[in-house]
Amino acid sequence: MDYDLLIKGGRVVDGSGLPGYQADVGVKDGRIAEIGRLQGTAARTIDAAGLVVAPGFIDHHTHLDAQLLWDPYGTSEPMHGVTSVVMGNCGLTLAPAKAADRDNIVKSFVRVEAIPRIALEVGVPWRWHTYEEYLDALDGQVGINVGGLVGHIAVRQYVMGEESVERTATPDEVARMQQLVREALEGGALGLSTNRNERHMREDGKPVASRLASDDELYALCDVLAELNCGVVETVVGLTKLEHLAWYDQLARRSGRPVLWQSVQHRWAAPNLWREQLDGIAPTFRDGYRAFGLASTVPLLRRWTMKNAQVFDEFPTWKTMMFLPELVRKQAFQDPETREKLRAEMNGMPKASFHRRWDLVQIVHVARPENEIYRGKSVAEMAAMRGQDPIDALLLLSVEEDLETIFASANTGGDPEVVGQILQSPYVLPGVSDAGAHVQFGVEFGYSTTFLGLWVREREIMPLEQAIHKLTFQVASIFGIEDRGLVRPGYAADFAIFDPNTVRALDAEWTQDYPADTRRLIQRSEGMHYTIVNGRVICEDGRLSGDLPGQVMRGSAYRARAAAAV
Ligand SMILES: [Zn+2]
């Protein structure tokens, strides 16, 4: 047998950005063996006539750190052509961790990434201590390839314990954190992530640990990346304003490493900010340093109730309400004076995140039959029907329904003209799936299929070749993943094979596949025919194969250490 797998007659769009071409692709031992008009025999042949054969997509922004421990595919990633994922973003990782750190790490994941606590308690078998051991725990257990950043929150927790959420670090503590980052990079991490989002707190209301870090602490940790010449620096703040761009610029210059920041979005609350951000970061690139803004291809639609809403966290009284026991909270919402206070607070603060456009907040589910008339309406429409002010209407309807009413809103990504321009910028890295996070609020698994269907086919914002490049080789290059992201001989045989005329993401669906029967949202697609990892088909027309060919992707410091040991 010449090949293990032969992909016949497809149009190869190889990830480089060059024009696609008709060719067969032969795979042997998990690698691309040959490309061209191939005649050899194969254990399996796939007819790809009419389909595009692209490198598998690399989803660089996930929070699958926990989910991959019980779901080896990070479902629904393979349904969208994703063959590799990066986890450990936004400062959050499950390693390094001593036994005493575990619950504090869980506290951050539960609140920041909105993963149900019970799923983490039941689903995470803490078999590791170091970052390297955590990666080892995934080896041979995954259906997709996985790499990870080491999270500043875990590193700080490890060195400082509970004081990590209370104070700045001493020079000695910073030195110990540097050592942990060094060990993580040499253990395979693809970089470092940190979190300065002033809205990101633990389940107990305390700030996540990395928010207490000084600039000097973070710079010191980035110095380790510079020293090892390895890894990216990934950051998150609440809203990237112009002063943050100077900070990204500093991180990029000081470390010489690619910096990733969140995010470049169209925002109803600040409609011109995206242009100012892209203009503001251009000098960094012109000087030869890299600080890519992350951009989403889909509006960040969030589903929430007044049981669990985080959309109002920027307003202190609203946030306080959300931490009250539900009974007390309902009583508060029924009190006209409290509602007046909530209204005055929201209307009195400058617009930051929530847009206060009640016409853009939809009612997607009602609990009581008599309220069916409101389903599909906006809060503004519902308020008009009830003859109430929108905030009163939102809170009173929720109370009537025992806080079960489900609303949906998107603060970002609402203007397609602007999103199209953002996705075209060379300073932008598309794709913030956040897979594994906010599992009951929304899904963006389909960032890749939406990119190809909505933005490339329907709105024609760029050629297919360029979009594939952004989903594959661009990501691999930035993250130092050396053998993926291109269809070239010698590269890993990861493919997304799809119909460019039909590919698209479908609507989110509920499922109950998390540990302890927890509910969450998944997303399927159309037109994605085969997802292939290391030469083996893991997903065919939306059906998972059960095969686990995924590998752990370890960074260059690991490879350097391994080479030196030989
Ligand atoms: Zn994130």
- Give pLDDT tens digits for 488-535: 999 999 999 999 999 999 999 999 999 999 999 999 999 999 999 999
For 152-215, the three-class secondary structure string (H helix, E strand, C coil) is: HHHHHHHHHHHHHHCCCCCHHHHHHHHHHHHHHHHCCCCEEECCCCCCCECCCCCECHHHHCCH
pLDDT at residue 414 tops 80: no
| pLDDT tens-place string over residues 138-168 | 999 999 999 999 999 999 999 999 999 999 9
Residue whose structure tokens are 């009830």: 386
pLDDT at residue 228 tops 80: yes
- The predicted structure's pLDDT at residue 54: 98
Q: What percent of the chain has pLDDT over 90?
A: 89
In the reported structure, the alpha carbon of residue 62 is separated from the centroid of ligand 1 by a whole-number distance in angstroms of 6
Q: Which token pair is 40?
A: 């050899």
In the reported structure, the alpha carbon of residue 377 is separated from the centroid of ligand 1 by a whole-number distance in angstroms of 30
pLDDT band, residue 14 (cuts 50/70/90): very high
- The predicted structure's pLDDT at residue 141: 97
pLDDT band, residue 332 (cuts 50/70/90): very high
76 vs 536: CA distance, rounded Å:
18
pTM to 2 decimals? 0.88
333 vs 306: CA distance, rounded Å:
10
Instruction: Say which DSSP state 311 is in.
Output: T
In the reported structure, the alpha carbon of residue 236 is separated from the centroid of ligand 1 by a whole-number distance in angstroms of 8
- The predicted structure's pLDDT at residue 566: 78
- The predicted structure's pLDDT at residue 428: 97
In the reported structure, the alpha carbon of residue 251 is separated from the centroid of ligand 1 by a whole-number distance in angstroms of 19
pLDDT at residue 133 tops 90: yes
Q: Which token pair is 60?
A: 């660089």
| pLDDT tens-place string over residues 170-186 | 999 999 999 999 999 99
Tell me which residue of 324, 403, 316, 309 sits closest to 361, measured CA to CA. 309
pLDDT at residue 448 tops 90: yes
In the reported structure, the alpha carbon of residue 195 is separated from the centroid of ligand 1 by a whole-number distance in angstroms of 9
Range with the poorest average pLDDT among 6-10, 22-26, 301-305, 497-501: 301-305
pLDDT at residue 269 tops 90: no
In the reported structure, the alpha carbon of residue 436 is separated from the centroid of ligand 1 by a whole-number distance in angstroms of 10
- The predicted structure's pLDDT at residue 175: 98
In the reported structure, the alpha carbon of residue 93 is separated from the centroid of ligand 1 by a whole-number distance in angstroms of 11
| pLDDT tens-place string over residues 354-380 | 989 999 999 999 999 999 999 999 999
536 vs 513: CA distance, rounded Å:
24
In the reported structure, the alpha carbon of residue 399 is separated from the centroid of ligand 1 by a whole-number distance in angstroms of 32
Element (H, E) at 451: none
| pLDDT tens-place string over residues 69-127 | 999 999 999 999 999 999 999 999 999 999 999 999 999 989 888 899 999 999 999 99
In the reported structure, the alpha carbon of residue 259 is separated from the centroid of ligand 1 by a whole-number distance in angstroms of 14
In the reported structure, the alpha carbon of residue 63 is separated from the centroid of ligand 1 by a whole-number distance in angstroms of 6
Element (H, E) at 445: none
pLDDT at residue 239 tops 90: no
| pLDDT tens-place string over residues 454-487 | 999 999 999 999 999 999 999 999 999 999 999 9
pLDDT band, residue 412 (cuts 50/70/90): confident
214 vs 443: CA distance, rounded Å:
33
Burial of 419 (0-12, 13-18, 19+ CB in 10 A): buried
pLDDT band, residue 248 (cuts 50/70/90): very high
- The predicted structure's pLDDT at residue 351: 82
In the reported structure, the alpha carbon of residue 90 is separated from the centroid of ligand 1 by a whole-number distance in angstroms of 5
132 in Cβ contact with 97 (< 8 Å): no
∠ CA 443-468-48, rounded to 5°? 100
User: In degrees to the nearest 10, what's the CA dihedral of 27, 34, 56, 194?
Assistant: 110
- The predicted structure's pLDDT at residue 209: 94
In the reported structure, the alpha carbon of residue 87 is separated from the centroid of ligand 1 by a whole-number distance in angstroms of 9
304 vs 309: CA distance, rounded Å:
5
Tell me which residue of 103, 112, 236, 114 sits closest to 162, measured CA to CA. 103
